[in-house]
């Protein structure tokens, strides 16, 4: 069993572009990935079984993924961008269709994708399924500090109102926002019951007033989840995976669920995201890319990958394997199963909508620039 410690110990092989440019061996797979986003045991198992050498390059934003693929300086064989960036790459004719006849483990009948994944796919561009195979997925939520008196009740009762409106939360609550303008704008739209993928001059003004009046004490990235855990912050809008990252870290250090002093509330209307495997048009090792995708579609491999990364598996069978550990004598397995079942629950038969969240759509750069300016104006006040 791979535990969360390996998230930090994972030795990802990162070679520079000079080395990458020299990788013309047909048994090589050039992968562009996020940092700490592939279980080393999975990588080793694939290389041992197939004889391929996987060479990873890393990027820390979807925008950097795009610029690397657009420039074509390195002919990556496989990339793992997020939903809206997959749309942009598709529109710019940078992707090739997946050949599903080569994916022996793709089985939407006996091993379907999770309902959350299918929900995200249903809201992406037409025929996105032909170009992208889900890798991990998830939602955003409001992580909160249970040590702040009255805050948990306020969050669970009022949701977005508690996050944005001071009258719905305890006095002195320290609230923070993820420092990505598109995320901040989207949160403001959810609070106002508006579509985060519709951007007009009027909605930008609404977002400005909403964000300004929220009284944020911090705009940050990883600092937010750490601030909540350290009792330096009380609420923040973050990836649910950020919360799970901190939860698993604490559990792995020996804490029990009863010791955990923070939790996350995931509204029905929030951001949902999906990172997926895509093959660029300029890929040179297309068969290798398909073999790796097929390898990752094995339930036991997706399970192994999720055990180290902490985000939600896209495959139903892998999820079933994880939650089968509920009540297991192994504390780690039991708590891992609990976390998946609690924060990525299966929909009830009576649920009209089978998933939470809205994926962000690809938006013209002019509107992204206007949102960025609006957020910068809020932060400077």
Instruction: State what percent of residues in the chain have pLDDT above 70.
Output: 93
Q: What is the pLDDT of residue 302?
A: 98
Averaged pLDDT, 137-162: 98
In this prediction the pTM is 0.87
Q: pLDDT tens, 58-90?
A: 998 898 999 999 999 999 999 999 999 999 999
β-pairing, 133-145 with 272-277?
antiparallel
Q: What is the mean pLDDT of the chain?
A: 92
| pLDDT band at residue 18 using 50, 70 and 90 as cut-offs | very low
Averaged pLDDT, 327-336: 93
Q: What is the pLDDT of residue 11?
A: 36
| pLDDT band at residue 29 using 50, 70 and 90 as cut-offs | very high
| pLDDT band at residue 5 using 50, 70 and 90 as cut-offs | very low
Q: What is the pLDDT of residue 26?
A: 58
Residue 318 pLDDT greater than 60, yes or no: yes
Averaged pLDDT, 215-242: 95
Averaged pLDDT, 147-167: 98
Return the CA Rg of the chain: 21
| pLDDT band at residue 222 using 50, 70 and 90 as cut-offs | confident
Averaged pLDDT, 186-192: 98
Q: What is the pLDDT of residue 52?
A: 96
Q: Identify the weakest region by mean pLDDT among 4-8, 50-54, 273-277.
A: 4-8
Averaged pLDDT, 220-233: 95
Burial class of residue 258, CB neighbours in 10 A (0-12, 13-18, 19+): exposed
Q: pLDDT tens, 251-267?
A: 889 898 899 999 999 99
HEC profile for the chain? CCCCHHHHHCCCCECCHHHHHCCCCCCEEEEEECCCCCCHHHHHHHHHHHCCEEEEEECCCHHHHHHHHHHCCCCCCEECCEHHHHHHHHHCCCEECCCHHHCCCCCCCCCCECHHHHHHHHHCCCCHHHCCEEEEEEEEEEEEECCCCCHHHHHHHHCHHHHHCHHHCCCCCCEEEECCHHHHHHHHHHHCCCCCCCCCHHHHHHHHHHHHHCCCCEEECHHHHHHHHCCCCCEEEEEHHHHHHHHHHHHHCCCCHHHCCEEEECCCCCEEEEEEEEEECCCCCHHHHHHHHHHHCCHHHHHHHHHHHCCECCEHHHHHHHHCCCCCCCHHHHHHHHHHHHHCCCCCCCCCCCCCCECCCCCCHHHHHHHHHHHHHHHHC
């Amino acid at each position: 069993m791979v535990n969360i410690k390996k998230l930090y110990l994972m030795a990802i092989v990162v070679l520079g572009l000079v080395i990458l440019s020299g990788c013309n061996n047909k048994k090589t797979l050039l992968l562009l990935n996020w940092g700490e986003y592939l279980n080393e045991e999975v990588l080793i198992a694939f290389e041992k079984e197939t004889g391929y050498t996987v060479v990873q390059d890393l990027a820390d934003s979807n925008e950097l993924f795009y610029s690397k693929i657009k420039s074509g300086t390195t002919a990556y064989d496989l990339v793992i961008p997020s939903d809206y960036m997959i749309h942009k790459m598709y529109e710019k004719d940078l992707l090739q269709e997946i050949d599903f006849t080569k994916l022996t483990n793709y089985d939407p009948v006996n091993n379907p994708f999770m309902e959350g994944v299918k929900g995200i796919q249903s809201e992406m561009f037409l025929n996105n399924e032909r170009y992208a195979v889900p890798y991990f997925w998830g939602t955003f939520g409001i992580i909160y500090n249970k040590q702040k008196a009255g805050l948990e009740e306020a969050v669970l009762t009022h949701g977005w109102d508690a996050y944005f409106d001071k009258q719905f939360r305890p006095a002195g609550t320290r609230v923070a926002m993820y420092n990505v303008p598109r995320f901040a704008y989207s949160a403001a739209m959810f609070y106002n019951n508006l579509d985060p993928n519709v951007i007009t001059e009027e909605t930008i003004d609404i977002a400005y007033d909403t964000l300004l009046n929220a009284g944020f004490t911090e705009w940050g990235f990883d600092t937010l989840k750490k601030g909540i855990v350290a009792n330096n912050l009380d609420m923040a809008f973050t990836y649910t995976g950020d919360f799970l990252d901190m939860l698993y870290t604490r559990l792995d250090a020996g804490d029990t669920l009863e010791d955990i002093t923070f939790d996350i509330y995931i509204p029905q209307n929030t951001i949902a995201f999906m990172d997926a495997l895509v093959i660029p048009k300029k890929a040179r090792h297309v068969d290798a890319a398909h073999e790796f995708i097929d390898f990752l579609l094995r339930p036991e491999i997706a399970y192994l990958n999720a055990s180290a990364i902490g985000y939600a598996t896209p495959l139903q069978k892998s999820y079933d394997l994880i939650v089968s550990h509920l009540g297991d004598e192994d504390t780690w397995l039991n708590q891992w199963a609990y976390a998946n079942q609690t924060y990525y629950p299966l929909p009830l038969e009576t649920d009209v909508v089978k998933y939470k969240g809205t994926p962000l759509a690809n938006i013209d750069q002019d509107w992204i620039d206007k949102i960025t300016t609006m957020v910068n104006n809020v932060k400077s006040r």
